[in-house]
Every structure is written in structure tokens, then in C-alpha cells.
Amino acid sequence: MPHLPHSSPAALPLIDLPGPDVTVRRLRHPGRWVSGGIVLLLLAVIVRAFAVGQIQWTVVGQFLTAGVIVTGFGWTLLISACALALGVVLGFAFGIMRLSENPILRFAAWLYVWVFRGTPVLLQLLIWFNIALVFPRLYLPGLIDARMVDVVTPFVAAVLGLGVNEGSYLTEVVRGGIGSVDRGQKEAAHTLGMTPGQTMRRIILPQTVRLILPVLGNSAIGMLKFSSLAATIAMGEMLNAAQRIYFINGAVIELLFVCAVWYLAGTTVLSIGQYYLERHFGRDAATATSDRRGFWAWARRPAARGEA
Amino acid sequence: MSLAVKAVGIRKSFGSHEVLKGLDLEVAYGEVLCILGPSGSGKSTFLRCINHLETPNGGYVWVDGAIMGYELNRGALQELPVKRLRAQQSQLGMVFQHFNLFAHRTVLGNVIEGPMVVRGLSRDEAEARAMGLLEQVGMAAKASSYPSQLSGGQKQRVAIARALAMEPRVMLFDEPTSALDPELVGEVLEVMRNLARGGTTMIVVTHEIGFAREVADRVVVMIDGEIREMGAPQQVLSDPGDPRVRTFLSRVLA
């Protein structure tokens, strides 16, 4: 087919072509300025509403560092840390059991996930708190013999409730993580003569941890927030402390805002920690946190799927 | 010539599909044996049966005085506990098509893993020997790199060093160059050629006919789970008796 000459008036004849150093003008985006302006305006409206609303900001400032609140936040951190540790231990234990050759172990792990992932965590907290109604005494021959109410304090109930619940989620996470480590890693370890235990500890689990670290970071952040549920079982963590104060002085919203500030501070610190942890574990591959530009660039990236 | 490996009547099925139909093979110490054959002929499965990465459904493999995975007990084969099977497996060095380097360990970490964990060597001793082996495969300069920072050819050379670190009786290669870019095949074959010259006993599943012709003492051609041809490379490769082997070779040599 013969090549037809282009006859449109816009055709650019070769003779008019500019040199290689020609200036390039970027496309303007007026729409971005407009949408950005609208959003800024809305933000300003919201900020003003809260500024002129019926909140005594001086009271917020006053209670922000009140002893009871700070102590309560300390309990919040302690509950979260203990529950997360328990959850991680249970998650790995049951996650490995989920992949066992032994069908009974597999079934037990499945049952654990089914029960504790299938019921609300608030309900579980209440059950742990009232466990003495079922078992009045805790008796392990040679180890312990005590009244259950003395053993399961609000703190213990909170850690058990939150930790066991978290463990059921992490079981599935660990199972998925182990499953996504390449099968060849295991085969290579076997041909070197490593036993299943050595292979799991030295080859599979370290790579699993790297894969699930983003999820564990989200767990930590979620746990800090879910620990507020312990306020319902008379555990004197931060929300409970705030409630006890506003029952007396009536500054409800002010004290809830105090809590919000502390929770935001906590989750921000955890996010920063998560960033550095992922960067550390991601050193061998660009998988965990491919973005090395720094924490703030990472924090403002689009959220990954399933990220809290 | 004393025998290193003797496979007796190896059969293997995946579901209803019979992949290996009763294979016998003997490999002597110092010998280099290449297994050729069209894809799907079962040659990789056969190699994986030899070191019990796949458990054969029938037959057994004898390696250096012991039956892999079993112990002869009153005329029957008694399955061994996994720890003793692993000890046997460490006698057979394995090099995989996809390298399977430990992604979370450096090059050096990969090579010292087996000697330290399985053989109980001290870190210093394991590292000293590992550096020698990395020197041998030309990868000493990359000792502190991670696998993700290496080219395919470099990864495979590290994988060879890692397998050698266990001082295996026999080295098994499962299509060691099939996943490599063409320009990287040569460096891996060169390392293997040097091993063969040094007297290492090798069983190599490969598509590299040229390598087989040059290095192998014997060549086996497998088709449909059976050994159809076995003998010296020049005889098998230039004048095969079996018509299906002739068809296969004319296709790969074309």
C-alpha cells in the first residue's frame, strides 16, 4: 500500500522542527489548584467549628498531663505490649500447628481460630473477666492453688482477652506468611541435611517475619486502640481514667479529646517504629519497604490493601 | 571403579500419572553422568528421587553403603527417622534450577549454614572453608552480598559452593543452567567443568548437549519415564539405536 502524504493543516514540515535544546513547557493542572483549594477551605471550616464550639480547650490542656491520665496511658501501653506479645506467641505457635503433618494438631489450631476469631473481642474480654463464675479456683497440682478472682485481675483479663483474640488473627497471618516462603528454600535446607525444626527456625521463620512485619505493625497499632475496650472491665487504663474524671467534673468531651491526643501520639510513634523495623528487615530485598526516601514520604504513600 | 550410587527399580507416580516406570542406574565414583531427555520425561523427578526430595513409590536408592531413607531390617525396608534421612541427604549435594539460595542470608551466610548447623563447625572454621569454596567458583568478592543483588549465573555459582561446603560424596545438578540468560550459561558450565576435572562424582540433568558431549563419561537419555539409551556420549549422541531417542536428538541438535 502506498504511503499517503498527510494533508492536514496541522502537519509539521521537517523544515520547521526545533533543535534538540528546545524548551519544554509542562502541562498546567488548574483542576488540582481548584480541588486543593476546596479541601483546604473545608478543613478550615472544620477547625473553626471546633475552635468556637463548646469545648474548653484550656481544660483539655490542663488534663493532658494530669497524673491519672498519664498513669492510665502507661497501663494502656503495658496492656497493649503484653497482649501483643501473647498474640504473637500464640499466632506463631498455632500458625505452625496449622501446617503440621499431624491432622489433630491442624484441627486444634483451626478450632482456636474458629472460636476466637468468630466472637467479638469485647465479649471475650467480659468472659475472661468473669471466668471465676465457671472456675472458682485455679488449681494446678504443685504449681498454683488460688481463687480465680485473685488470679484473673482486670489487667490479666485484658491481656488474655486481647492477646488470645489477636493470636487467632495472627495464626492466619503466620500461616499465610509461611506458605508464601518459596518451597525451594525448604528443599535447599533439606538437601543440606537440616532437620524440619532447624529448617523452620533458621530458614522459614526469619523470612516469614519479614513478610508479615507490615501486618504485625498494624497489629501493634490496632492493639493500642483496642486496649481501650478494657475500660469496660474496670481496668484503670487511660479511657477508664478519663471516664472516672468526667463522671465527677462533667468535662466529657474535653477528656475524650485528651485520650484522642494520647492515642494519636502513640500510634504515630508506632508508625515510625514500624517504618524503621521494616527497613531493617528489608535490607536483603527491596520487598518490605521499597521506598528509602524516609519516614514521611512512606507515611503519606497510598495505603496498602487491608491496612488499618 | 567402586560404585557411588545405585538406583534399583525406581517408580514414581503423581496421582494416576506414572512419571518413572522402574529405573535402574549405577554411577561410579569419579564419574560424570548426564541425563538428557525431552521436558516431561521425568529426568528431574528421577534426580529428586535419588536424594529423596521425592519419595519413590517403588524401588530404592543405595548411596555409598546405605539405602536412602531406609534401613534393611530382617529382609524389609524400615523407614528411617527424619534426622537420619537428612544426614544421608547431606551426602548428596544438590544444585537447583532456580538456585534456591537463602534469601535472608548473605552469600557467605548461605555457604556456612550447612557446615555450622548440620556439621557443627565453628563459625571461623566454616567461614574459612566457605571463602575457599567461593574463591573456587569465583564469587569470593561477593561474599557479603545478598542473593537479590546477584545475577543468575552468580547465584548458581554460589549455590554450587553451598552444596560443596557439605563435602558431599556426589553432586546432583537439576537443570543448573535452564533458568539463566544465555550469556550467563558459560560461567556456570565452566565451574562444573572444573569440578568434573577435579574428579567430583556428578549426576547432571541438563539440556546442554555440548556440555554432555564434552564432559560426561556416560550419557543417559530418558523418554516417558524410561531410560531409552545409555552409554558413552559420542556413541549415544551420534548413533543412537532407539528411534525415539534419534527423534529427540535431531530436534535438540537441529
Fold of the domain spanning A57-280? MetI-like fold (1.10.3720)
Stated length of chain A: 308
Beta carbons within 10 angstroms of residue B142's beta carbon: 19
pTM above 0.95, yes or no: no
pLDDT tens for residues B50-99?
Answer: 999 999 999 999 999 999 999 999 999 999 999 999 999 999 999 999 99
Residue B1 touches chain A, beta carbons under 8 Å:
no
**The predicted structure's pLDDT at residue B117:** 96
State the average pLDDT over residues A50-63: 89
**Percent above pLDDT 70 for chain B:** 99
B227 or A236: which carries more pLDDT confidence? Answer: B227
CB contact under 8 A, B100 and A188: yes
Q: Where are the domains of chain A?
A: 57-280
CB contact under 8 A, B117 and A182: no
Best of A181, A190, A191 to substitute, by most chain B Cβ atoms within 10 angstroms, is: A191
Whether the per-residue pLDDT at B146 is higher than 80: the answer is yes
CB contact under 8 A, B146 and A283: yes
CB contact under 8 A, A194 and B118: yes
Which residues on chain B are in Cβ contact (under 8 Å) with A190? 53, 86, 89
Which residues on chain A are in Cβ contact (under 8 Å) with B92? 191
**The predicted structure's pLDDT at residue B115:** 96
**The predicted structure's pLDDT at residue A282:** 66
Contacts 24+ apart (CB under 8 A), A289-296: A295/A271
CB contact under 8 A, B166 and A184: no
Nearest CA in chain A to B168: A192
**The predicted structure's pLDDT at residue A290:** 43
CB contact under 8 A, A196 and B82: yes
State the average pLDDT over residues A203-212: 93
Q: At what angle do helices A238-249 and A252-281 cross, to 10 degrees?
A: 170
What letter would DSSP give residue A89? H
CA dihedral in degrees (B86, B32, B19, B55; nearest 10)? -10
ipTM of the predicted structure?
A: 0.93
Contacts 24+ apart (CB under 8 A), A98-105: A98/A171, A98/A172, A98/A174, A98/A175, A99/A175, A99/A178, A99/A179
Residues 6 or more apart whose CB falls under 8 angstroms from that of B192 comprise: B160, B173, B176, B202, B204, B211, B215
CB contact under 8 A, A192 and B118: yes
Q: Where are the domains of chain B?
A: 102-166
Residues in A lying within 8 Å of B, measured between beta carbons: 182, 184-185, 187-196, 198, 202-203, 206-207, 210, 283-286
pLDDT tens for residues B209-247?
Answer: 999 999 999 999 999 999 999 999 999 998 888 899 999
